[in-house]
Structure 1
Amino acid sequence: MRGTFKGDLYKNMLWKCATATTIPEFQTAMDELKAFNKKAHLWLSKIPPLHRTRSHFSGRAVSDVLLNNMCECYNGKVIEGMDRPIISALEYIREYLMRRIVTVLKVIEKCDGLLTPRATELLEEIKKDASHYHVQWNGGEYYEVSGKPNHARVVNLDTRTCSCRGWEITGLPCRHVVAALWCMAENRGRVGAIESWAHPVHTMERWRLVYSHKINPLNGRALWTKIELPTIITPPKHHNQVGRLKKLRKRSEAEIEDMTQSGSLTKKHTQGACNKCKQIGHNSRTCKGKSTTAGTSVKAGSGTSSKAGKGVKAAKDGKA
């Protein structure tokens, strides 16, 4: 879409359609795009909503991910083994997974609480938003939670559903649910910890279970068992293509456009670290903190001056 319809307005409208959690919200966002540009609306309508908007997600995956970052992470980790033969490539992936499991287990040992660190961070942000909502209880299992005018949502704590579908899609209690739980606690209801209302997929117990499987080490090829087969599998005929083999992934049109304009990928919306104080958000030119290498430079200067003093003293002794 960025290659055909350029500009931040198209980008914002596209993301508004993608992040809508209910079908009415999705239809409203699509109507706004149609009023802005009919060709862009027609182009986007050809893509099934099931693959591009949260409003049509079933909730079975308990995830609202709209990007392919998981594929990009996998590609970035196995890129060094992609140009190897198949057995060597599989061995590279196996060794990486062994290191990955150990690294995550060390992180799990340092974590406290019921939910994973990322789920805890998201839930804290949800709690801050929930503090601005007003709740009305019907005396049963339903709660009407309102924030903006005409944006009330119905929460059913017995079936664990909310009409915004945020709880159903992500597995984390949305801001409407958190506000309803606080109202339930005020009316002497047994609520417990807010974290206990999250889906089990976000718990530390499930995280430990995911990484409970271990990949065992293997002996080298010299100790592998040789198997005699009645048939010999010959390698397929291979014709070397002209040019160097491609190892990096194929870049999108947006990345190619950024590189053709400036010669390199843009650093827009990124935060660099200062070379002086190692803090994020500014550079060494505007830095007002102390340099982390100040002590080292002073020591080096003092050593140089002492050597110079000894040299001058030796020269005077020679003249004498």
Structure 2
Amino acid sequence: MPLAASFISNSDPNHWANAYFSGERWGIVNNNQAENWNGWVKDARSLPVPSMIDHIRIKIMEMLVKRQGKSLAMTGILCKKILKRLTINHMASRSLKYCRSSSTAFEVYDEDKSYKVDLQYKTCSCKAWQLEKLPCKHACACLESKGYSVYEFVDPCFHIDTYKQVYQFTINPIPSFDEDFDLYDACNAPPDVFVNAPDSRTRPGRRKTKRIPSEVQTRKLKCTRCGKPGHNRRTCTQPI
């Protein structure tokens, strides 16, 4: 499709290709945040707007309390799962050999390959340190040779203190949900304050609760010669 090829070649890959994403990943590549949210609030999606908002408020309020209690039981520097991953990397670094290039740069040998590690910029040529924000096994070997603590080179995102700060806030109860509140004077409010309901018609039948798969997920390759899926015209062996 020449039009599609032209569109892709003229588009910035940072906006559509995971490989060129310029933001921080912390070891996670996930494109279905909207689907996760819709699944989490599935019970509230069919409710009227005021009830739906209040239902979501209660779910978030309960989640914050649950994770606040979980954070109080945490001890140490890193979260449990991150500490386990770091321990695996540190144990794997024991068998690696390395040579110093400078006070912060190293060349690490892992089987038949070599990797460059820079402790100053927290980088490794295997790219794992940059993507996961966690010292890889090559970096762990260099940090141990310098006598540094690996905890100091882990991104603050994985620290227990950061986890506690994220969930330190609370949502106050609303005892009078059905009571009318005068938030502003409707006569003096600017026009852009009001959000009117969309002018749309309700379709007949029961509302769908499951996500509709995209065409890319459901589309199957069909042969233009015999019309059967699973192969193309060049590899077709079906008799006509």
Q: Please, what TM-score do these two structures have when normalized by structure 1?
A: 0.56
SS of the counterpart of 2:108?
Answer: strand
Separation (CA, whole Å) in 2 of partners of 1:254 and 1:247: 20
In structure 2, the residue matched to 1:209 is: 165
Partner residue of 2:99 out of 112, 124, 136:
136
- Contact 1:162-1:177 within 8 A present in 2 as well: yes
Separation (CA, whole Å) in 2 of partners of 1:48 and 1:233: 34
Separation (CA, whole Å) in 1 of partners of 2:146 and 2:198: 68
Q: What stretches of structure 2 of length at least 5 have no aligned partner? A: 220-240
Aligned in 2, Cα 1:209/1:234: closer, same or farther, shift over 3 Å?
closer
**Equivalences for residues 207-246 of structure 1 within 5 A:** 207-226=163-182, 229-230=186-187, 235-246=197-208
SS of the counterpart of 1:176?
Answer: helix
Letter in 1 for 2:166: V
SS of the counterpart of 1:144?
Answer: strand
Aligned in 2, Cα 1:172/1:80: closer, same or farther, shift over 3 Å?
same
Aligned in 2, Cα 1:73/1:125: closer, same or farther, shift over 3 Å?
farther
Separation (CA, whole Å) in 1 of partners of 2:36 and 2:27: 18
Superposed displacement of residue 101, structure 1: 0.5
Partner residue of 1:182 out of 137, 144, 155:
144
Aligned in 2, Cα 1:253/1:128: closer, same or farther, shift over 3 Å?
farther
% identical equivalent positions: 22
**Equivalences for residues 266-305 of structure 1 within 5 A:** none
Aligned in 2, Cα 1:126/1:52: closer, same or farther, shift over 3 Å?
farther
Letter in 2 for 1:168: Q
- Contact 2:27-2:133 within 8 A present in 1 as well: no
Partner residue of 1:250 out of 205, 212, 219:
212
Aligned in 2, Cα 1:176/1:57: closer, same or farther, shift over 3 Å?
farther
Aligned in 2, Cα 1:252/1:237: closer, same or farther, shift over 3 Å?
closer
Q: What do residues 41-92 of structure 1 show as CA deviations (whole Å, max 9, x unaligned)?
A: x9xx8797544444x343x424232233544432221111112222222111
Select the structure of larger CA radius of gyration: 1
Relative to structure 2, which stretch is displaced further, 230-239 or 106-115?
230-239
Aligned in 2, Cα 1:139/1:66: closer, same or farther, shift over 3 Å?
closer
For this pair of structures, how many residues does the alignment match? 205
Bigger proportion of residues as helix: 1
Q: What stretches of structure 1 of length at least 5 have no aligned partner? A: 1-41, 186-190, 258-320
Letter in 2 for 1:144: E
Separation (CA, whole Å) in 1 of partners of 2:60 and 2:107: 47
The CA RMSD over aligned residues, in Å, is 2.9
Pairing 1:109–2:72 present: yes
Aligned in 2, Cα 1:249/1:220: closer, same or farther, shift over 3 Å?
farther
Separation (CA, whole Å) in 1 of partners of 2:100 and 2:116: 10
- Contact 2:106-2:118 within 8 A present in 1 as well: yes
Separation (CA, whole Å) in 1 of partners of 2:198 and 2:31: 33
SS of the counterpart of 1:223?
Answer: coil
Separation (CA, whole Å) in 2 of partners of 1:62 and 1:178: 20
SS of the counterpart of 2:178?
Answer: helix
Pairing 1:88–2:23 present: no
In structure 2, the residue matched to 1:164 is: 126
